[in-house]
Structures are given as structure tokens and as C-alpha cells.
């Protein structure tokens, strides 16, 4: 069968032969036993409903074994035979160019070079899934190949509910992931309902088809490291010779060593999974790999003496680094952590004293013991960090729920008031006031042609516009503009592409609209092919997350989710090609509501109209909320937006004299 025929086939009428489990692939850990005997029967009923009854006898034993062996029914047998990667848009079958673009993005999320656990349809974060099983993937791709621009595909947590009549300005796809009744959003609820096959954890950009490999976070990580360096610098010195210690090389966290190199420091990043270490090293995202702690100590001493710019992956546990560097007197300038602590009991964080294999076995077979060992390691981790910060280390929470889970484990991590943490979230200290409040966030685009030449042309267009805007930018955002220009100038030489020909750039509403409009004109003139716009959910407006994206909201509303819900509703009727809203994000199931969008630029006047309407709202919705929280930077930004757009009228806060309250 041709590629087109396989896509259009959907769930095959003649079942493919079972596929052997490939040990060379990085697989998701076995999930813990969570279902009762009756619930296991329900999970099988739910899985088998994708297939004609005459297939049930053949499949029920296989699916039962998957549930027993892996804790989930992935339907490995249905994994396609064709290579999984983002093909040029014209290679996809279909009646809608917008739908073809979405197929491209789905396949990019599952590309072996991009996805963390590709056979389990997990893109990053240990559990960030595009689909729950391969039947859902096949059926979704079939629907996309059939749909017209007068239909909308409805996605319920990976399940394609079906095509519904709509109109050309409606989203082609509407995605929800993990949208639970509030009282059913505890970690074990995810384990149970995901095992039943009725919901999934879409992470941020996994289940919304907008992940672009580790580049997706490397720009934000670079900005964070640069500004963390500025906070500790004396007399304007840079990061030369300074040491940044962190952990995590899977998925999003794999961006850290590359960002450290761009920022100009020494980066030591721990990772317990050998396959993740190999992947990032082979892709050029980390310079060196060290497996022995003694050798690591010697190498770091040498790097500090030589003021090298180098990234080192330590294959082992980050707690061992913090404790050993403390004992050796190695000064750590910057410290953080980016293991997947939103998922602490199912592979997001590993305890010390166990091999990777031993930990995975204990996780599945002795979950309570594993939980206790994780908690003990978190207490040791926090204690070691505390010893370093007492010497002057600047430590920040990287929004991965490290401080939250450490506090729940009883670690010494709380401030004197017993309410706040000892250490700030990077959003509180850096990204919130410096970027989000001004409207700067992770705007991204993908060249649907798959052409590196198109990507280079879009980089050049973006650079030209940024340099023009920088000439008249107000003083409050000069630094952000300069950082963006530095980033885009080095984008090609830093070899950031993994998977699709994509780019990320922190931009405000003005920048996003001007860049998108210039792309659309270039498409209309035949200079480049179609461009797919999107953003990380980790942005100005898309996410309500009290321990990360909205951690610098101090009016008491950081635990509300009105902004994220309004964002996705507003994007959907202002012209987004697809929209998504998720429970969970990067901080944890039940801890955050986050949403995103995708938009296809085809050079048309319709695309120009949509991009101006949608991108303006997508950013200024969040600035308005942040200004109402009395954030000075956001008040400045929303006033500037109202001056630029007379139809925008936002309620501004009145500040209260503290003396009246005291």
C-alpha cells in the first residue's frame, strides 16, 4: 500500500500481524497496577470498541497482555509500517490544506528523533501523549484526510469523536485533553482513567500537536539563564566561567545544555536514562557525556579554571552531583531542576541508590516503596541545594513542580512565613515580569514545505522586522528586543532543528502580527511555502498555573483558570486553524489548565484577516489579566496596546495606599 492508502485506510479491515516489542526504542515505564478486575474488563471493552466484533477473539488476549505487562493498552499491532516524520505538506492526502498541515504536525510529534517514547505515542515529560493508542492515531489521520474546510474534527483526549459540519472560519480541529471534573484530578485518577482508555495527559504541546523538539523551550531557557546570570553579575560581567547545575535530558528539559552553551556558561545536566543521554549527545545538544562522579568533578574544575563554554551530561542522579560538589567545595553559580516532577511516581523523577532498571521495576511492582524512596531523595535533594545557596548559589524553580513536590515530601523548602517557598519560580523572578507581563512569549512557526531554505528565509524576515521594531521600541522592552535579535541571528549556526523545519522566537503581539503578516505576503508572492503558526502553552495568556505561568499573579487569582478558558474560546472564533485545552501541563495533573492553537498561513486575504484578529487577542487577553492583578509591567503593556488599537478598552486597576491597610 502507498503512504496515501495507509493514511486513508484508518483502522484496517484485515488486521496487521502483531509487532514485536523493540528493546532498542526508548519505551515508557510500566504503569502501576491500578484497576480492579472489573475495571480491567471495562478497559478491554473500551479498547475493543474500535474494532469489528469478528476481530475481538484475536485481539482480546493481546490487549489483556498489554494491560498486564505495561499498565496500558497501546495497540502496538496497529503501529504503522511507514516511517514517522513530518513530510512536506503536499505529500499528505486530503481535501483541506489546513487538515494536511495538522497531519504534518501530528507526525512530527511522533517522529523518533522528537518523541520521548514513540511507540507509546508519548512526546515528552514521561506521559505527554498525542494519543492513547494506535487505533486513535489511525482513525484521526483518516478523518483528516477526508475532511473539508466546512467540517471540524472533535478530539476527546486522543479519541476522534468525529467530523461535524461547521464553516471555513471555524477551527478544523478542537482538542481537549484530560478535562476532568475537579474532584477527579488527583495523580491516581490519571492512572486509573488513562488505564481505562477514557482520558489522557496531553502535556502542553504534545496533545496539541505543536511540539517542535527541544528547540521549543531552548529559547525560553536561554532567556532564563541569561537573565539569571544578569541577576548575579557584578559590574556587568557575563556568564563566562560560571557553573549551572540542573537535571533532565528527556523531551523539553533536553534544551538546557544547548541554552547554557548559547548563554555562555558551563552546564552540568544529570540524566538517569542512558537512552535519553545518548539521544541528546548524538543530536549535538550536549557536548560531553561523563558517567563517573570523580571524573565529573575533575572535568568541572578544569572547565571553571579555563572559563570554558561547555555542556556536560552526567549519566546519573543529580542529587549525587549536588552532594559531591558541596563536599568538594565546587561553587555552583546557578542551580535549577527540570526533571518531570509533575509525574513523580511514574518515571518523572528517580530516587538515588537504585539503577535505572531497578527503579523502573520497583515503580511498577512496589509503588508505595518507590514513592517513599522518591520522597527521601527529594528531601536529600533540597537539603543539598540549601547548603549550596547558603554559599551564594542562585537557585530557581524551573516550573517542573520541584519545590511543590519537595514540600509535599517534607523537605526543608518553605520560607519563614510557612506559606511561600524559599526559592522563587523562574516565572516570578524572570519570565513573568521581564517577558509575560510585557506580552513576550514563545511564538513559533513551522515551514510546511519541509525546506531548510524556507526556514532560512523566514529567519531573515523575522530578523529584519525585529531590527526595525527595536529602533523605536520603548526603553522598557529594549532588552527583550535585543535578546530576540541575538537569538534569531544565531539560530542557524546553533543547529536547533530536530524534526520539522521549525523556529521559536519570544515576541509580543506587535512582533507576532508583523512577522506573521510578512510570512503571509511572502507566501502570496511565491517566495516560500505555507507556514504553520503556533506557540508553546507556556505563554502570556494560554496557561493558568499558580506554581509556574501565573506564579507572579499576587491578587489571589493565581488559582483560577478563567484566562486559559477564555483564551481558547477567543482563539477559536477569531480564526485559529486548531485549538486545544488541557488539564495538567508541565506542572501536574490537577495543578494547571493550559491551552494552545495552530494557524495555517496560505498567503490568502482570509489568513491575513485571521492572524491579525487572533494573534492580537491571544496575547492581550493575558496582559489584561496581568494588569488587573496590578502588575506594573502589564499595566504599561496594556495601555500601549489600547493606544495602538482604539477598539481595545480594558478595565485598569486602581492601587490602594498601603498606609490605609496598615
Per-residue pLDDT tens over the stretch 159-201 = 999 999 999 999 999 999 999 999 999 989 999 999 999 999 9
Give the other-Cβ count within 10 Å of 493's Cβ.
7
Answer left, alpha or beta for residue 318, where phi above 0 means left and psi between -120 and 50 means alpha.
alpha
Judge if pTM exceeds 0.85: yes
| Cα 372 from Cα 367, distance rounded (Å) | 9
User: What are the residue ranges spanned by the domains of the chain?
Assistant: 3-196, 216-424, 433-650
Domains 216-424 and 433-650 share a fold: no
Residues that constitute the known binding site for NAD(+): 125-126, 203, 271, 398, 586
Which of the four pLDDT bands, split at 50, 70 and 90, describes residue 251? low
Terminal-to-terminal C-alpha distance of the chain: 76
What distances in angstroms separate CA 613 from CA 437, 511, 532, one per listed residue? 20, 14, 16
Q: Quick one: 3-196 is in which CATH superfamily?
A: Urocanase superfamily (3.40.1770.10)
Q: Are 209 and 598 in contact (CB under 8 A)?
A: yes
CA separation, residue 520 to residues 278, 396, 465 (Å): 39, 39, 14
pLDDT more than 90, % of the chain:
85
CA–CA separation, 602 and 173 (whole Å): 17
Q: Is the pLDDT of residue 330 over 90?
A: yes
- Position 235 confidence tier, pLDDT thresholds 50, 70, 90: confident
Distance CA 9, CA 647 (A): 48
Where is the binding site, in residues? 125-126, 203, 271, 398, 586
CATH code for the part of the protein at 216-424: 3.40.50.10730
Residue 634 vs residues 274, 538, 652: alpha-carbon distances, Å? 43, 17, 10
Residue % of the chain over a pLDDT of 70: 100
User: Residue 92's CB: how many other CB atoms inside 10 A?
Assistant: 22
For the chain, helix, strand, coil in percent to 5 are 45, 15, 40
Q: What is the CATH number of domain 433-650?
A: 3.40.1770.10
Q: Report how far residue 58's alpha carbon sits from residue 63's, in angstroms, rounded to the nearest whole number.
A: 9
Helix, coil or strand: residue 545: coil
Given a cut of 70, whether residue 252 has pLDDT beyond it is no
Within 8 A by CB and 6+ apart from 623, the residues are: 437, 438, 439, 540, 541, 634, 637, 638, 641
173 φ/ψ angles, rounded to the nearest 5 degrees:
-140, 140
Spatial CA neighbour of 197 closest among 347, 66, 11, 362:
66
pLDDT at 234 over 90: no
Distance CA 439, CA 480 (A): 11
Please provide the DSSP assignment of 3-63 as one string: HHHHHHH-S-SSPPPPPPP-TTS-PPPPPPP---HHHHHHHHHHHHTTS-GGGHHHHHHHH
Kindly state the cell numbers that stand for 367: 509503588
Span 436-473, pLDDT tens digits = 999 999 999 999 999 999 999 999 999 999 999 999 99
Amino acid at each position: 500500500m502507498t503512504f496515501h492508502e495507509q493514511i486513508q485506510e484508518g483502522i484496517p479491515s484485515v488486521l496487521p500481524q502483531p509487532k514485536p516489542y523493540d528493546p532498542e526504542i526508548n519505551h515508557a515505564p510500566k504503569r502501576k497496577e491500578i484497576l480492579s478486575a472489573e475495571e480491567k474488563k471495562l478497559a478491554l471493552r473500551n479498547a475493543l470498541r474500535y474494532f469489528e466484533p469478528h476481530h475481538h477473539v484475536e485481539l482480546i488476549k493481546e490487549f489483556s497482555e498489554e494491560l498486564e505487562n505495561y499498565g496500558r493498552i497501546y495497540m502496538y499491532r496497529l503501529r504503522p509500517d511507514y516511517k514517522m516524520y513530518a513530510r512536506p505538506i503536499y505529500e499528505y492526502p486530503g481535501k483541506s490544506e489546513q487538515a494536511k498541515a495538522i497531519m504534518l504536525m501530528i507526525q512530527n510529534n511522533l517522529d523518533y528523533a522528537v518523541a520521548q517514547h514513540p511507540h507509546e505515542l508519548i512526546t515528552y515529560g514521561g506521559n505527554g501523549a498525542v494519543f492513547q493508542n494506535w487505533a486513535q492515531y489511525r482513525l484521526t489521520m483518516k478523518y483528516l484526510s477526508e475532511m473539508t474546510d466546512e467540517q471540524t474534527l472533535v478530539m476527546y483526549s486522543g479519541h476522534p469523536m468525529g467530523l461535524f459540519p461547521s464553516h471555513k472560519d471555524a477551527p478544523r480541529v478542537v482538542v481537549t485533553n484530560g478535562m476532568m471534573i475537579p474532584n477527579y484530578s488527583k495523580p491516581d485518577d490519571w492512572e486509573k482513567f488513562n488505564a481505562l482508555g477514557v482520558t489522557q495527559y496531553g502535556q502542553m504541546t504534545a496533545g496539541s500537536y505543536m511540539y517542535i523538539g527541544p528547540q521549543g523551550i531552548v529559547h525560553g531557557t536561554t532567556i532564563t539563564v541569561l537573565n539569571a546570570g544578569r541577576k548575579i553579575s557584578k559590574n556587568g560581567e557575563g556568564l563566562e566561567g560560571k557553573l549551572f547545575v540542573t537535571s533532565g535530558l528527556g523531551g523539553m528539559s533536553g534544551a538546557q545544555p544547548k541554552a547554557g552553551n548559547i548563554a555562555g556558561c558551563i552546564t552540568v545536566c544529570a540524566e538517569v536514562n542512558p537512552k535519553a543521554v545518548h539521544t541528546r549527545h548524538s543530536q549535538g545538544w550536549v557536548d560531553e557525556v561523563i558517567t563517573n562522579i570523580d571524573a565529573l568533578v575533575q572535568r568541572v574544575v578544569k572547565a571553571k579554571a579555563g572559563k570554558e563554554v561547555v555542556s556536560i551530561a552526567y549519566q546519573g542522579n543529580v542529587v549525587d552531583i549536588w552532594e559531591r560538589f558541596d563536599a568538594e567545595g565546587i561553587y555552583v553559580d546557578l542551580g535549577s531542576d527540570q526533571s518531570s516532577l509533575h509525574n513523580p511516581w511514574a518515571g518523572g523523577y528517580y530516587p538515588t541508590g537504585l539503577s535505572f532498571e531497578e527503579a523502573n521495576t520497583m515503580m511498577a511492582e512496589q509503588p508505595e516503596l518507590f514513592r517513599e524512596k522518591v520522597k527521601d531523595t527529594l528531601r536529600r535533594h533540597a537539603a543539598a541545594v540549601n547548603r549550596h545557596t547558603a554559599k551564594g548559589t542562585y537557585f530557581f524553580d524551573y516550573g517542573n513542580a520541584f519545590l511543590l513536590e519537595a514540600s509535599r515530601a517534607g523537605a526543608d523548602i518553605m520560607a519563614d512565613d510557612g506559606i511561600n517557598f524559599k526559592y522563587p519560580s523562574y516565572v516570578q523572578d524572570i519570565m513573568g515580569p521581564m517577558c509575560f507581563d510585557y506580552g513576550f512569549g514563545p511564538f513559533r512557526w513551522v515551514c510546511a514545505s519541509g525546506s531548510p531554505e524556507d526556514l532560512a528565509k523566514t529567519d531573515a524576515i523575522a530578523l529584519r522586522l525585529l531590527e526595525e521594531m527595536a529602533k523605536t521600541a520603548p526603553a522598557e522592552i529594549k532588552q527583550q528586543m535585543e535578546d530576540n535579535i541575538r537569538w534569531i541571528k544565531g539560530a542557524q549556526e546553533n543547529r536547533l532543528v530536530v524534526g520539522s523545519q521549525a523556529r521559536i522566537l519570544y515576541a509580543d503581539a506587535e512582533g507576532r502580527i508583523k512577522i506573521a503578516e510578512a510570512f503571509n505576503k511572502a507566501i502570496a508572492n511565491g517566495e516560500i511555502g505555507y507556514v504553520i503558526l503556533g506557540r508553546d502553552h507556556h505563554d502570556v495568556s494560554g496557561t493558568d498555573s499558580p506554581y509556574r505561568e501565573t506564579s507572579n499573579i499576587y491578587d489571589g487569582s493565581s488559582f483560577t483558570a478563567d484566562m486559559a478558558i477564555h483564551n481558547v474560546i477567543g482563539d477559536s472564533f477569531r480564526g485559529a486553524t486548531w485549538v486545544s485545552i488541557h488539564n495538567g501541563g508541565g506542572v501536574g495533573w490537577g495543578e494547571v489548565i493550559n491551552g494552545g492553537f495552530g494557524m495555517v498561513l496560505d498567503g490568502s486575504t482570509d489568513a491575513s484577516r485571521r492572524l491579525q484578529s487572533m494573534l492580537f487577542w491571544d496575547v492581550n487577553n493575558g496582559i489584561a489579566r496581568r494588569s488587573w492583578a496590578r502588575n506594573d509591567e502589564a499595566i504599561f503593556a496594556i495601555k500601549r496596546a489600547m493606544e495602538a488599537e482604539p477598539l481595545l478598552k480594558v478595565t485598569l486597576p486602581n492601587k490602594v495606599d498601603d498606609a490605609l491597610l496598615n
